[in-house]
Chain A
Amino acid sequence: MRTPCSSTTVRRGGMSVAFLVLPILAAPAPRQAGAPIAIVHARIVPVSAPVINDGTLLMQGGKITAVGAGVSVPAGATVIDAKGLWVYPGMFDANTTLGIAEIPLGAPGTMDVDEVGAFNPAEAAGVAVNPSSEIIGTTRANGITTALTAPHGGVISGQGSVIDLGIGTTDQMNVRRAAALWVNFPQHHGQGDFFERYRRLLAGEPPPSSEERERAYRKQVDQLRDYFSAARRYAGVADHATDRDLAMEAMAPYVAGRLPVVFQVDRAEDIRSAVTFGEEMKLKYVLAGCNDAWEAVQTLAEHHVPVILGEVTAMPTSDNDPYDAPYSNAAKLAAAGVPFAIATASAVDSRNLPYNAALAEAYGLPADEALKAITLYPAQILGLQDELGSLAPGKRANVIVTNGDPLDVRTTVRYLFIDGRPTPLDNKGLRLYREYGGKP
């Protein structure tokens, strides 16, 4: 196996640019066990433990095997001298469409996000992840190593899958294919179907009355409740030899509360409704989006509902709202003890995950919380804290080495490891930059 560089080729600190040394890895490396890798003399931020100023991180067999100041480097290990550099767990974006959304406009063939039909619980995003996505390459280059990618169509969109952003096959990228059930929770007074709205507009018909909209909303919630109830009944019957229903089967771990159900909601009123529904149905549920979480903090805290916030780089929902409402959301949740993560709700903007966290930090979220919100917290919310989210022995070796605080936009990632494999930082942007004469 080739390593990105020997310890002697590492330039310390300064403005060394990673592609100078990393393109040699442009060909996908097979994912197999290799020699141990030791990152030494680094300032290590384990996230789940105090910062180590001159520490060593050891990776072997895809896992982190040791993190500490006095770790001895085994013989035969590839050693990376990271003096002047910082080591962090790879970042985790818990709300994306990475790998299933490439070019939204003009290339519908690259879009696998919106399925036809209201209920599609059997369909999992991880099946369709395109390992050659150019977006994934640019995302990885900013230190994001893990993502929940999920379909967003209909009401029960399908299942979100946790993937890593490494080089390899779709199967290799899947960390947990069935990670969360994605539900677009019905909206009070929702705008309704896009084409229906357009039809009315062209026909000069008035919009439906608020009563009609409220009725439509209730009907949608009833349908969703019925669907969950049917799944529960289905799961209660032991033998489905003759009437096997794949959709109902897919619902089983979610109605049983084993895996999280994600309700996508934004408005405060809808947040409260989703909480009521989740409690009523006794689900292990999580809210995503939650642009108006700041208005519903009390409800969220009361029920200790985890929230996958984001994107932070959003507009307030109403003209009347404080200008910084989406920015200061995270700080308010943190203060109230609501479990939360920060995500981008995007594919192309997933690379801006650390800057979403930075914006939350600027508006009141403590720096260590901001870092956790894009590493450990998403892992915890999705039940993957034993595998991901921090630098600790036994966890997957998703590690980044940077020249500074990864939330600082001026910082760049120098090395990146996924499952303990050195993974190239090269990407389409960088390739074109080189091709057109960009300075190294």
Chain B
Amino acid sequence: MRMCHWLVPACLLLAGVVQAATCPGESYAIRNARVLPVSGPALPRATVVLCQGIITAVSPDGPVPDGAEVIDGAGLTVFPGFLDAYSQYGLPPAQAGPPPARGVSGPPLRPLDAVAPNDPALYLTPHPVGNTPQRRAVDLLNPQSDLENVRAKGITSALVAPVGGVLQGEAALVNLRGPYPSSMVIQPDVALVAELRPQRGFGRYPSSVMGAVAVFRQDFLDAQQYEQAESIYQQASERGLPRPAYRSSVVSLLPALDGKQPVIFLAGDDNAILRSLRLAAEFKLRPIIAGGTQAWKVTPALHAAGAPVLVSLQFDPANKDELGTEELKKEQDENAANAARLAQAGIPFAFTSEGLKPKDHFLSRVRIAIAHGLSAEDALKALTLWPAQILAVDHQLGSIEPGKIGDLVLATGDPLAEGTQVRMLFIDGQPLPVHPESPKKDMKNKQKKTDEAGPPAGVNAVTLGATQ
């Protein structure tokens, strides 16, 4: 699956070959809706066919498979589900405690259990607190967590990333449906996540940004050494060489080190972004910047590094409290224009809720970005196709095209227009009603009821149009 890179359009063409006039399994057809495929021009009135979770047809008046549930989409607009390109949805709020084991845990290369505070091992090779590159989001997923409000905004999938430490772990691309972790995962280990920042608490290593850089650098040197040692060991014609010590935290860096996996650097201001790019270049990594509030200031460097940006919708500068009203306004405006400037500079980007509080502001902030010069088309792409491309899942997600996963939003108007309401969602080709204002309990009851009633019989009985 990874073979499809978003720079290779052939992948999309291959995917387009999939056709289905009949469907052997569960099937839905949305008719008479305005469809925004994102990958192509808007279709004022079209039919979208979903078969066994996959989009099989998008056409002005295409055939509907036998037995398909037909949904009258008159008055509705259908567009791809939004992909939040960096988040913690579905992850436990605190990820304290030891990281989950991954594979074999060998003897530590660096001492974790020094016996005394004056042990030279403690300072000659200090152990960074919370540094867990081997931690995987897929092992932490908790579909019981409240995803309804997220979905209500039209977000159907997300990159979810573990938090804590300099090397934070492996981010996964998941849908926001559940009900099981296994049914959520679209791609595990999409990217390694790093943040060059000190750890909370006095006396914890690293306690400074420069210490964090040293942690990152030391870890990748360890990985280089392991790889080299392992290669010598494998190729050794003679026996008698010492076996390279295995450590999951080191081994988990190898895909990134070999360029097979991108590294997401959480970095907000220009200095942090440049620092991340320098470090990526030092180890020939594939950097993606997440947060990137001031990415607009460093577009040449981003361009040179080929680094896309997962743009935070938080526009407040980090030193917000230090600024007077005029200066704060100026900085907020500049940061709100971040996306527009990245678009202008040709830097690939996608939107994320990273740093946004409260998360409810997600779409209103996108509208602010539009007000600051981003085109509405680009804004929609930055929520759908572009994150899929940046995360190399555009063969699966990001647009309404045959062959892609059936993540759709049915809404009362333009995706980003104020007042547009999401009426219904499809995730993995499965319909999900949306009740944005409902308390959680009600939602559960309704869901249950629907389930009891068998296939979503009630769905097409409801008029979903804007006139409702």
**Within 8 Å of chain A (Cβ to Cβ): is B360?**
no
Residues of A within 8 A of B200 (CB): 204
Q: Does B327 contact A (CB under 8 A)?
A: yes
C-alpha spacing A202/B201, complex, angstroms: 7
Q: Mark B327-338, 1 if CB is under 8 A from A, else 0.
A: 100000000000
Beta-carbon contact of A207 and B321 below 8 Å: yes
Interchain nearest-CB distance for B327 vs A (Å): 7
Query: Which residues of A sit under 8 angstroms from B327, Cβ to Cβ?
Result: 320
Measured between beta carbons, the chain B residues less than 8 angstroms from A207 are 321
Interfacial residues of chain B within 326-351, with CB under 8 A of chain A in the complex: 327
For the complex formed, measure the closest distance between the CB of A214 and the CB atoms of chain B, giving whole angstroms.
14
Taking CB as reference atom, which chain A residue is nearest B319?
A319
CB neighbours (8 Å) of B321 from chain A are 207
Contacts of A204 in B (CB 8 A): 200
Q: How far is the CA of A105 from the CA of B321 in the complex (A)?
A: 31
Chain A 179-230 interface residues, beta-carbon cutoff 8 Å to B: 202, 204, 207
Q: Give the docked Cα–Cα distance between A207 and B202 (Å).
A: 19
B3, chain A: closest CB distance, angstroms = 44
Q: Which residues of B contact A320 (CB under 8 A)?
A: 327
Complexed CA–CA distance, A202 and B202 (Å): 9
Bound complex: CA of A226 vs CA of B200, how far in Å?
A: 42
Closest to B327 in A: A320
A342 CB, nearest partner CB in chain B, Å: 29
What's the least CB distance linking A201 to chain B, in Å? 9
Q: Name the distance in Å between B456's Cβ and chain A's nearest Cβ.
A: 44
Which chain B residue shows the least CB distance to A204?
B200
User: In the bound complex, how far is the Cα of B96 from the Cα of A204, in angstroms?
Assistant: 15
Closest Cβ–Cβ distance, residue B334 to chain A (whole Å): 16
Residues of A contacting B202 with CB < 8 Å?
A: 202
In chain B, residues 272-287, which have Cβ atoms closer than 8 Å to a Cβ of chain A? Answer: none
- Which residues, 288 to 346 on A, are CB-close (under 8 Å) to B? 320
Give B288-324 interface residues, CB cut-off 8 Å to A.
321
- Within the assembled complex, what's the spacing in Å between the Cα atoms of A204 and B200? 9
| A270, B202: Cα distance in complex, Å | 34
Query: In the complex, what residue of chain B is closest to A189 when comparing beta carbons?
Result: B321
Looking at the assembled complex, report how far the CB atom of B129 sits from the nearest CB atom of chain A, in whole angstroms. Answer: 16
- Taken together as a complex, chains A and B put the C-alpha atoms of A181 and B202 apart, in Å, by 39
CA gap between A202 and B203 in the complex, in Å: 12
Assembly CA distance A285 to B321 (angstroms): 32
Shortest CB-to-CB span from A197 to chain B, Å, is: 13
- How close is A69's CB to chain B, nearest CB, in angstroms? 57
CB distance from A266 to the nearest CB of B (A): 16
Compute how far the CA of A280 lies from the CA of B202 in the bound complex, rounded to whole angstroms. Answer: 46
Across the two chains, which residue of chain A brings its CB closest to B200? A204
Q: How far is the CA of A19 from the CA of B290 in the complex (A)?
A: 66
Interface residues of B in 157-214 (CB under 8 A from A): 200, 202
Q: Measured between alpha carbons, how far is A320 from B200 in the docked complex, in Å?
A: 30
Q: Please, which residues of chain B bring their CB within 8 A of the CB of A202?
A: 202
> Considering the chains assembled together, what is the distance between the CA atoms of A202 and B200 in angstroms?
8
Per-position 1/0 for A392-429, Cβ under 8 A of B: 00000000000000000000000000000000000000
| A3 vs B35: C-alpha distance when bound (angstroms) | 104
A287 to chain B, nearest CB (A): 23
Complex CA–CA separation, A16 to B254 (angstroms)? 73
Q: How far is the CB of B305 from chain A (nearest CB, A)?
A: 29
Bound-state CA distance A203–B185 (Å) is 35
CA distance A204 to B199 in the complex (A): 13
Query: In the bound complex, how far is the Cα of B195 from the Cα of A333, in angstroms?
Result: 49
Q: Which residue of A lies closest to B201 (CB)?
A: A202
- Nearest to A210 among chain B residues (CB) is B321
Nearest CB on B from A195, distance (A) = 15
Cα A320 to Cα B324 in complex, Å, equals 10
Min CB distance, B326 to chain A, in Å?
10
Q: How far is the CB of A40 from chain B (nearest CB, A)?
A: 59
Q: Which residue of A lies closest to B202 (CB)?
A: A202
Instruction: Look across to chain B and name the residue whose beta carbon is closest to the beta carbon of A320.
Output: B327
CB distance from A240 to the nearest CB of B (A): 48
How far does the Cβ of B83 sit from chain A's closest Cβ, in whole Å? 30
A204 to B202, CA, bound (A): 13
Min Cβ gap B18→A in Å is 50
Q: How far is the CA of A320 from the CA of B327 in the complex (A)?
A: 10
Question: Closest CB of chain A to B355's CB: distance in Å?
Answer: 15
Report the minimal beta-carbon distance from B330 to chain A, rounded to whole angstroms.
11
Cα A207 to Cα B321 in complex, Å, equals 10
Chain B nearest CB, measured from A34 CB (Å): 59
| A207 to B320 alpha-carbon distance, docked (Å) | 13
Per-residue contact bits, chain B 40-80, to A (CB 8 Å; 1 contact, 0 not):
00000000000000000000000000000000000000000
Question: A320 to B323, alpha carbons, bound, how many Å?
Answer: 10
CA distance A326 to B356 in the complex (A): 39
Q: How far is the CB of B275 from chain A (nearest CB, A)?
A: 21
Minimum CB distance partner of A207 in chain B: B321
| Minimum Cβ distance to chain A for residue B301 (Å) | 24
Complex alpha-carbon distance, A202 and B327, angstroms: 29
Chain A nearest CB from B75 CB (Å) reads 44
Task: Give A113 to B355 CA distance when docked, in angstroms.
Answer: 44
How close is B168's CB to chain A, nearest CB, in angstroms?
Answer: 18
A320 to B319, CA, bound (A): 14
Complex CA distance for A202 and B321, rounded to whole angstroms: 19
Closest beta carbon of chain A to B458's beta carbon, Å:
45
Tell me the bound Cα distance from A369 to B460 in angstroms. Answer: 89
Q: Which parts of B220-247 form the interface with A (CB within 8 Å)?
A: none
- In the complex the two chains form, what is the Cα distance from A233 to B327 in whole Å? 46
* A389-B327 Cα distance, complex, nearest whole Å: 45
0 or 1 for each of B360-390: is its CB under 8 Å from A? (1 = yes): 0000000000000000000000000000000
Closest residue of chain A to B321 (Cβ to Cβ) is: A207
Tell me, in angstroms, the Cα distance from A207 to B327 when the chains sit together: 21
Closest to A319 in B: B322
Report the minimum CB–CB distance from A421 to chain B (whole Å). 52
Shortest CB-to-CB span from B318 to chain A, Å, is 14
Bound together, the chains give a CA A252 to CA B327 distance in angstroms of: 46
The complex places the Cα of A401 from the Cα of B202 at a distance, in Å, of 53
Compute how far the CA of A27 lies from the CA of B202 in the bound complex, rounded to whole angstroms: 50
Q: Chain A's nearest CB lies how many Å from the CB of B419? A: 31
- Residues 128 to 144 of chain B near chain A (Cβ within 8 Å): none
CB distance from B320 to the nearest CB of A (A): 11
Q: How far is the CB of B259 from chain A (nearest CB, A)?
A: 38
B465 to chain A, nearest CB (A): 44
A202 CB to nearest B CB, Å: 8
Least Cβ–Cβ distance between B360 and chain A, in angstroms: 19
Q: How far is the CB of B329 from chain A (nearest CB, A)?
A: 14
Q: How far is the CB of A319 from chain B (nearest CB, A)?
A: 8
Once the chains are docked, how many angstroms separate the CA of A320 from the CA of B321? 15
Q: Give bound CA distance, A297 to B202, whole Å.
A: 43
Q: How far is the CA of A387 from the CA of B327 in the complex (A)?
A: 50
Contact code string A21-60 (vs B, CB < 8 Å = 1, else 0): 0000000000000000000000000000000000000000
Measured CA separation A320–B330 after assembly (Å):
14
In whole angstroms, what is the CA distance A268 to B411 when docked? 53
- Cβ of B202 to closest chain A Cβ, rounded Å: 8
Q: Please report the C-alpha to C-alpha distance between residue A264 and residue B327 in the assembled complex, in whole angstroms.
A: 28
Q: What is the CA–CA distance of A69 and B45 in the complex, to the nearest angstrom? A: 107
Q: Report Cα–Cα, A190/B327, bound state, in Å.
A: 20
A202 to B204 CA separation, bound complex (whole angstroms): 13
Q: What is the distance, in angstroms, from B233's C-beta to the closest C-beta of chain A?
A: 46
Measured in the bound complex, the distance between the Cα atoms of B327 and A242 in whole Å is 59
A407 to chain B, nearest CB (A): 35
- Cα(A207)–Cα(B319), bound, Å: 13
Query: In the assembled complex, how far is the CB of residue A206 from the closest CB belonging to chain B, in whole angstroms?
Result: 11
Q: Roughly how many angstroms separate A48 CA and B200 CA in the complex, as a whole number?
A: 59
Q: Bound state CA distance, A154 and B200, in angstroms?
A: 31
Write the A229-261 contact mask toward B (1 if CB under 8 angstroms, else 0): 000000000000000000000000000000000
Shortest B106–chain A CB gap in Å is 35
Q: Give A113-137 interface residues, CB cut-off 8 Å to B.
A: none
4 contacts between A and B (CB under 8 A): A202-B202, A204-B200, A207-B321, A320-B327
Sorted nearest first, the 4 A-B pairs with minimum C-beta distance are A320-B327, A207-B321, A204-B200, A202-B202
Residues in chain A within 8 A of chain B (CB atoms): 202, 204, 207, 320
